[in-house]
Amino acid sequence: MEYKKTVLKRDFEISDVISVHYFEYTVDFAFSGELHDFWEFVYADKNELIITASSKEIVLPQGSMFLHKPMEFHNVRGNGSSAPNSVILAFSSPSHELYELAGKVITCTSRERAHLAGIIEEASAAFSSPLGDPYTESLIRRKDSLFGCEQMIANHLEGLFISLIRRRKDCPDDSLFTEKETTRRRKDEMRLSQICEYMEANVEKDLSSADIQRQFFISESSLQKLFQHKVGCGAMQHFQRIKIDRAKEMIREKKYNFSEISERLSFSSIHYFSRRFKAITGMTPSEYASSVKSISIS
């Protein structure tokens, strides 16, 4: 038998990356705007953003993204009431398929959000330039970067846009951007969403795993399996992350001191709060408060 090679088609490619950012903004930040000859997308990872595309102002809800065309003027700002987080990435691609996605508010699926998380994780491993520095003009490669991390950035980016383009082709109207899953997966997503919303609504309380089990009539093993499969950590680990995310928002909103934040979020002491904050973010609350001051762009 004579075997023949099949050269794999590449229907979509990312040729290079100009910038990769993960911003944790203060409540009152605003970026004056720019235009350039490459593509750029913005994803609202936490709370909503207000963006401008050409002369049109658009509300970008949490969990959605917007793709700016080359040479399109754009800016971004907060809504004045909640401190947002965003992923902003600029890149080059020869694909004309991108024009089908540009100019639309796109609600991302769980798979697409996983690609976005992978981009940030691999970019942190690939580059020493801070992802939260808005003035970075070029990415600086780490000397000790992980094997294949730049290739993984490309893989995640291409996977993200292939998923979006497929969804666009399956449904030409703007109702395209809804998740198509099996009944079981939809139920899992719904239950996970309900539990996470419950955690968010009770972020200031000292919830236990037993509290969540009683609220949602779910066993301990099913709860842990759901979170491990969908989120990648245990339920209470995720609740701790939500608490620290809320603490970061409160620091950026500048309404409370650290002791007040610790008390409002039901930490047993300011010292335990500081330890958990550093374990999750890599910084003390004071270091974080200093670091975000440089991201208020005007």
DSSP code string of 15-74: -EEEEEEEEE--TT-EEEEE--SSEEEEEEEES-EEEEETTEEEEE-TTEEEEEPTT--E
| Residue 297 pLDDT | 46
Question: In this predicted structure, what is the pLDDT of residue 28?
Answer: 86
Q: How many CB atoms lie within 10 A of CB 86?
A: 22
pLDDT value for 257:
94
Q: 236 is written with which tokens?
A: 């209470």
Q: Quote the pLDDT of residue 179.
A: 42
Tokens of 92: 């080059």
Q: Average pLDDT across each block of 10 residues of the chain; the chain has 298 residues. List them in order.
A: 90 92 90 93 94 93 94 93 94 93 91 94 94 88 94 96 88 51 66 93 94 94 89 92 94 93 94 94 92 59
pLDDT confidence of residue 185: 65
Side-chain-facing half-sphere of 182: CA atoms under 13 Å: 2
**Helix 285-292 vs helix 235-253: crossing angle, to nearest 10:** 50
Number of alpha carbons in the 13 Å side-chain half-sphere of residue 57: 6
Answer for the pair 91, 39: CB distance below 8 angstroms, yes or no. yes
Q: Which pTM does this prediction carry?
A: 0.68
Residue 157, pLDDT score: 97
CA distances from 203 to 35, 160, 226, 251, 263 (A): 39, 31, 20, 15, 12
